[in-house]
Structure 1
């Protein structure tokens, strides 16, 4: 595999966003068609009331602190109506290394639920955002409006709550006094733009 090409960046070099603590975050450009395209890919699973998940990959724009999603990778996976677990993660890592791609977040469907971050989603996303503060979680809800949302854990509050949570059950409540997650788009660090992106479906490999 050849390294993935970087599309044109529409974000200015001096643009940035802030966390709840006032820390700078790099802006992230994502393709505006990725939501409906992923919903289309997930349709066979959605019809069976099964979740589908994927990994958002991309690069840093040379010369500026901007992240660009260039590639959607669909790993091998096992799913239920409200869970999705990746399998053969070594294959995913090798693919990213060959294409020189960073992990910028993840995307998954709620086949029969509305668009929100469940407690399991929050714990899953914590590991992404701990590794990269700008990492995003996209939730697609094909049967409801809105059909998608782009989220991140608040920092502070959300990151601290999930880090200290000792609940063992997959689905459980968290303290309602804290805002645990927030929209990354609009009015966040995510900017949508029209450009082509690559889709790699490892389920067929």
Structure 2
């Protein structure tokens, strides 16, 4: 999907202040955070309801960060929440005609929660950053006071060297950040030029390569197709938060799916959970009403699923489904399905269970995969590029001994 920014704007963004730099004033650091939070775009091809649904979980995640003391992440999310629903989404061509329950809830959250919490967080961050900046200045003054006469003679060259090293560090950081964004744009342009290309990609099962993608079509349980959802939902973190997965989850899900698996029919479920410090913990698996066959599984009555999530304040952390007759991989339609989850939450995972082969894979899309799949408008089974892997085994998932709640709504 084409992005609404240029390389020049990326260079400018990378050269701006870092909110983690205590040498900056409190105001400069808060402004740096606010600029990060303002990067929200709306795609006219994505239904407003998708944004409203993502917004509910965005606010839920922001509330979790606030409760756990993650002031920066909470401030960014609440600011993005306000920017999205006050400034950007009302300009969507279908906004006025959108009549969904989530819209009313979002408007209430704006009035009663988002604005006041953003202001509160800004004050708390200004106080925190002010203390850190004052401490930084005290350390600088103390260091200057300890210098003797000889030190004073060397102060000029030493200060110049410190400034040179600091400038090199800032330049390196900006270069790395810019390289990352430039890679995203390059991937997207390459995917756009390739168009429809025949071929398949190698795949991994969490341990090693297991072969080429067979001809298989899986209907996605949900359908959102916009990279802008990720920009709206993400907190701008530079690394993936750990995702905690109970060890018994897959075996218990396979028990629920056993009857379908015996008949060669797929079963799918949604992974739900909560923020625990700076990790995302899967606590529930919800198996909604669904229609399925040997090579597809489609959710039905998603309102029941949404109602359960809202009642228990649960985040959507990914999905799980079976391949009763084949091994573990993500088909072309599975790629599109998971892109929807990963666009909303970078850490979202796709678990694939192959009971016939006793294999389980935990996957996410690569940078190239996200770019190519987001730009693809084909439906059903179709080939994607085979030049670079579009998905890989997850490195941010950690197994735990925590319990998991299984809810079968079928």
Same fold per TM (> 0.5)? yes
2:272 to 40, 53, 57: 57
2:363 matched residue in structure 1: 151
Query: 1:141-166 CA deviation, whole Å, 9 max, x = no partner?
Result: 00014x11000001x20100101113
Tell me how far apart the structure 1 counterparts of residues 318 and 354 of structure 2 sit (CA, whole Å): 17
2:255 matched residue in structure 1: 40
2:387 to 174, 177, 181: 177
1:118 matched residue in structure 2: 331
Q: TM-score, normalised by structure 2?
A: 0.42
2:225 matched residue in structure 1: none
Q: CA deviation at 1:23?
A: 3.5
3-state SS of 1:157 partner: helix
Query: What pairs with 1:1-205 in structure 2 (closer than 5 Å)?
Result: 21=180, 23-61=238-276, 64-145=277-358, 147-154=359-366, 156-168=367-379, 170-184=380-394, 188-203=395-410
RMSD of equivalent CA atoms: 1.5
Tell me how far apart the structure 2 counterparts of residues 195 and 163 of structure 1 sit (CA, whole Å): 34
Q: Which moved more, 1:118-127 or 1:21-30?
A: 21-30
Q: CA deviation at 1:31?
A: 0.3
- Which of structure 1's runs of 4+ aligned residues deviate more than 4 A? none
Q: CA deviation at 1:54?
A: 0.3
Richer in helix (by share)? 2
Tell me how far apart the structure 2 counterparts of residues 138 and 109 of structure 1 sit (CA, whole Å): 8
Richer in strand (by share)? 1
1:4 matched residue in structure 2: none
Which runs of no fewer than 5 residues in structure 1 stay unpaired?
1-20
Q: What is the aligned length? A: 176
Tell me how far apart the structure 2 counterparts of residues 28 and 118 of structure 1 sit (CA, whole Å): 23
Q: CA deviation at 1:179?
A: 1.2
Tell me how far apart the structure 2 counterparts of residues 117 and 85 of structure 1 sit (CA, whole Å): 16
- The structure having more radius of gyration, on CA atoms, is 2
